[in-house]
Structure 1
Amino acid sequence: MPTHSNFTFEDYLFYNKISSSIMFPIYIFATFGNMIIVAATLKSKKLRATCSLLIAIQALCESIYPISAFMFLYFALTEKIHTYHQCYWIQFVPLGAANIAINMMPVVALDRCLSLGLPLWYRRKNARNYICALLSVPVAYDIFLKILAYAFANDEEVVCVIPTGLAGLAAKIWSYAQGPVAVAVLIFYVAMRVYTKDLTRQSWVVINLNKSLQKIVVVYLCGYAAVAAVNFSGVMFSTNPYIINALSSFSGIFAGINAASPVVILYCQSKLYRTEIDALLGRKARVMVWSSSVHMTT
């Protein structure tokens, strides 16, 4: 087992093979699961509410950025090396999708808080302008990191994965940002719990959707905590770039679990999403047929 002081480039390549192999099946599931959410939203008129559109946008991003994990597996197993300059462009699209997806969970949670706390204003809002305003923060965050990453890109060689699409100060900001995002999600989660507990007149659709989102938030909080802890420990307690990059690659496992969780939770918890996903996949819905003495499920 290599120590902090003698962790070499060869060790870095070896541990990348392990982390990329673990990540691959998780991201395969995440990609197809999130594509199903997007397709169901596009097909169903019942999933055109603002919250459903925001969930679909997040799902779209989380079906794009796993491309990085698939490339990472190839690069790790073949030991193909790129410079930070090259990796910046290779990861340009997946990194953009990841940056937006990371910030979409607090956006969705904020939307639920506004819908519960300001119901009259929420119903009268201009949906297009409202969605654009909410998306401005994740998009601005991505643009800021892209500009900073371009300025700090260099010719040091790495195995190209999403974290190594950033270099220097951009990589540190990306690592540190996980903490504030997790705190924001936690604050909105508590607010959602308070609003949901106080409001009694809600449709079953809203109740199930809010419960689904609360479960997703819990999973995301655990994932954010794990990603933040791994990345933060790398940049704070080591100056060895190979250790920092190896830990950043390993943190992708927890990010993959986050990306894979929405479709599972929405399908299991929300009857609306389950019905629309079943319709998309050509599965018959379970319908209860009652008689005076017996009921059957078809």
Structure 2
Amino acid sequence: MLSQNNFTFEDYLFWNKISASLMFPIYVFAMLGNCIIVAATIKSSQLRATCSIIIAIQAACEAIYPISAFMFMFFALTEQLHTYQECYWIQFVPLAAANIAMNMMPMVALDRCLSFGAPLWYRRKNAKLYICCLLTFPVAYDIFLKVLGYQYANEELVVCVIPTGLAGVAARVWSYTQGPVAVSVLVLYVAIRIYTKSVHIQSMIIINLNKSLQKIMFVYLCGYTVVAAVNFLGVLFSTNPYVINTLSSLSGIFAAINAASPVVILYLQSDMYRKEIDALIKKRPVAVFSTT
């Protein structure tokens, strides 16, 4: 059915309904879970470390861009179409959040590498300036794509979802750059694994947090590898825009799993996050955390 020669506009609408229905419940959970991470970070005095702030920034982005999935669900089921120009503006904020969130995972991994590799400098750094520096690339990446995307927005009709917020060259650049993001996460993931095995860390808080982040990075690595591969192969081997856009929509299921994974992993793996989340949800005082 996905043969590009026989893939019709009706097939495109059908598969968008399938992908929207599969993504919707995952993104609802992702939005709620990431809102919990942000709220716990704001409320808790225990989550004031630089790494926790970076995690909260990424969670905030991953709580925003699921809004796109809710719009996509409505557009797909009602077969409502928009031009690329209209979709560019409809997805402007969700796409920005998705771009920043995608590029924050390498920044989280880089933060862990710096904390291991240059501990003295890391403890003495200016936290606000440091976080701003880490945000520079994700924000610049989104601005670049937005400027490029504006140049190629056209009047072709599509079902509006995050990938169709960009058209033409901008969409191809977006697809191709997901590969390097996955590679950077892989390299930093391996570096963290090697370092944590070679260095004795006494704090159980840090040990559990690092294990949590390694698991999140692994999920992201798998998810974005699939997303990047599907989008890249679609653009590379198909000239049928319905096939390309359908594959992009289906790959969004793996992006949804990525967005939903942090709250689950942090809650199950990190005692610190579990205590703070429990305290937030159950509205009870947090017990004194023991590192022994």
TM-score normalised by the chain length of structure 1: 0.94
- Post-superposition Cα deviations, 1:161-199, rounded to whole Å, max 9, x if no partner, equal 000000011100110111100000001001111111122
SS in 1 for 2:202: coil
The residue that corresponds to 1:152 in the other structure is 152
Runs (4+) of structure 1 moved beyond 3 Å?
283-287
Give the Å deviation of 1:2.
5.2
- Asked if the contact 1:278/1:285 (under 8 Å) is kept, the reply is no
1:122 aligned to 2:111? no
**Aligned 8 A contact 2:201 2:207 in 1:** no
2:249 is matched with which residue? 249
Contact 2:216 2:261 in 1 (8 A): yes
- C-alpha distance in 1, partners of 2:153/2:188? 35
2: CA distance, partners of 1:228 / 1:2: 19
Report SS of the residue matched to 1:160.
coil
2:136 is matched with 136
Secondary structure at the aligned position of 2:7 is classed as coil
Instruction: Note if contact 1:54-1:131 (Cα within 8 Å) is conserved in structure 2.
Output: yes
Q: Aligned residue for 2:226?
A: 226
**Larger radius of gyration, structure 1 or 2?**
1
1:3 & 1:84 partners in 2: Cα distance?
Answer: 24
2:86 aligned with 1:63? no
Q: CA deviation at 1:4?
A: 1.5
State the Cα distance separating 1:52 from its structure 2 match: 0.2
Q: What is the alpha-carbon root mean square deviation over aligned residues?
A: 1.4
CA distance in 2, matches of 1:144, 1:4: 31
Match of 1:7 in 2: 7
Q: Post-superposition shift, 1:283?
A: 6.3
SS at match of 2:282: coil
Q: Say if 1:286 and 1:67 are closer, same or farther in 2 by CA, change over 3 A.
A: closer
Q: Secondary structure at the match of 1:79?
A: coil
* Alpha-carbon distance in 1 for matches of 2:204, 2:226: 33
Deviations 1:196-225 (A, max 9, x none): 112213311100000000000111111011
- Alpha-carbon deviations, 1:254-289, whole Å to 9, x = none? 0000000000000000000000000001166898xx
What is the aligned partner in structure 2 of residue 293 from structure 1?
none
Report the counterpart of residue 177 of structure 2 in structure 1. 177
Q: Whole-Å Cα distance in 2 between the matches of residues 70 and 286 of structure 1?
A: 35
| Cα distance between partner residues in 2 of 1:243 and 1:194 | 41
- Superposed counterparts of 1:32-111, under 5 Å: 32-111=32-111
Letter aligned with residue 34 of structure 2: N
* Aligned-pair CA distance for 1:63: 0.4
Partners in 2 of 1:28 and 1:202 — Cα distance? 38
One-letter identity of the residue aligned with 1:54: I
Say if 2:204 is the partner of 1:204: yes
Shift of 1:10: 1.1
After alignment, is 27-36 or 223-232 more displaced?
Answer: 223-232
Match of 2:270? 270
SS in 2 for 1:239: coil
Provide the residue aligned with 1:167 in structure 2: 167
| Number of the residue aligned with 2:19 | 19
Q: Distance in 1 between matches of 2:112 and 2:75?
A: 40
> How far off its partner does 1:233 sit?
1.4
TM-score normalised per structure 2: 0.96
Contact 2:279/2:286, CA 8 A, preserved across alignment: no
The letter of the residue matching 2:65 is: Y
Which structure 2 segments of 5+ residues have no match? 288-292
